[in-house]
Structure 1
Amino acid sequence: MIKVGPSTHSGSSMVFPDMTALLDVIFILLVFLLLTANVAPRALEVSLPEEGSESSKLLDVEDPITITLFDDGDHWALDKEEYRNWITFETALADKVATIKKSGNEPQVVLAGDKDVSLEQLLKLFSWLQRHDLKATQVLMHADATAVTE
């Protein structure tokens, strides 16, 4: 406890409670509650077709934009032309989409990728497609991406 100098009223010193321990406990509880609070995760909504449904079959698309994802990091292909970083690939993809939209058509995108493509790379592409309002996307599934680019 903390004692204060002699009191003028009664001759005894006044005693105040020591708040240090209480403040430590409150601080620990506050940190615990902040760390365990439920935070809404950011999610990218993806609707997958039912197995065997008509929408799970390849649609006949005239002149689609074919995007290939490779498993060796920041490596992409756009209509068989390879790009080694995201910025140049994104620029080329934006130009291709703009050209198709100027002709009055809706861009159709076909995605193909290696089975070991990183989730980060795939989500980066899905996010870009969503930001540019490209909804008609088909996903091809191959054991390796070289079968799509040949």
Structure 2
Amino acid sequence: MIKSPDAGNNGWRTLTPDITPLLDIIFIVLVFLLLTANIPLKSLEVELPKTDSEALSVVQEDKSMTINMLAGNPAWALQGEKYEDWAAFKPVLEQNLDALKKADLMLASDSTVTVDNMMKLLAFLQEHEIQATEILMENE
């Protein structure tokens, strides 16, 4: 039989375990979580319109430009002219920067287009300080 030593003169036996190592591990994990929880996340701000669909203005053809993101090949289009990939499409956007800044820019995307294509385009627009954009969506 296993016996524990007496805890003083009154005859009580102490069977409490030493929890100091457990507390050390808990504090280390807590410090680790606190240090890693404050990592700043990169974000891209997108402002959605606050008006309902009936109050939206009619798009004028001469003042607007449309960028299409298509599923498959070709993947991009500017004013209906299609381009195979981002490497071919980016120089065309750079050539038309002045027109893109002056026009009402509309982004139209196929529902199966991946998010990375949308992020490439939005990052390009933000990098060149093009802020006036509309994202076209289908009604369900």
Q: TM-score, normalised by structure 2?
A: 0.64
- The CA distance in 2 between the partners of 1:118 and 1:137, in whole Å, is 19
Asked if structure 2 preserves the Cα contact closer than 8 Å seen for 1:112 and 1:142, the reply is no
SS at match of 2:42: coil
Higher strand share: 1
2:108 aligns to what?
112
Is this contact kept in 2: 1:97–1:107, CA < 8 A? Answer: no
Q: What do the CA deviations read for 1:65-103 (whole angstroms, capped 9, x no partner)?
A: 2110012377101111111110210101111224x38xx
Kindly provide the amino acid, as one letter, of the partner of residue 78 in structure 2.
Answer: L
Contact 2:107 2:136 in 1 (8 A): yes
* Secondary structure of residue in 1 paired with 2:88: helix
Kindly tell me: are residues 74 and 131 of structure 1, through their superposed partners in 2, closer, same or farther at Cα, counting changes over 3 Å? farther
The alpha-carbon deviation at position 133 of structure 1 amounts to 1.2
Task: Give a deviation string over 1:99-134, Cα, whole Å, max 9, x none.
Answer: x38xxx713311111112211111111111111111
Moved over 6 A (4+): none
CA distance change for structure 1 residues 61 and 45 in 2, over 3 Å: closer, same or farther? Answer: farther
Residues in 2 aligned to 1:86 and 1:34: alpha-carbon distance in whole angstroms: 40
Describe the SS at the equivalent of 2:48. coil
2:123 and 2:132 map into 1 onto residues whose CA distance is 14
Aligned length: 116
What stretches of structure 1 of length at least 5 have no aligned partner? 1-24, 144-150
- Name the CA shift for 1:56/1:46 in 2 (closer, same or farther; >3 Å): farther
Query: Residue 62 of structure 1 aligns with which residue?
Result: 62
Q: What is the aligned-residue identity percentage?
A: 35
Query: TM-score w.r.t. structure 1 length?
Result: 0.61
Deviations 1:123-147 (A, max 9, x none): 111111111111111222248xxxx
* RMSD, matched Cα: 3.2
- Aligned match for 2:127, one of 131, 145, 150: 131
CA distance in 2, matches of 1:55, 1:34: 47
Q: CA 1:58/1:116 → structure 2, altered by over 3 Å: closer, same or farther?
A: farther
Structure 2 residue ranges without an equivalent (≥5): 1-24
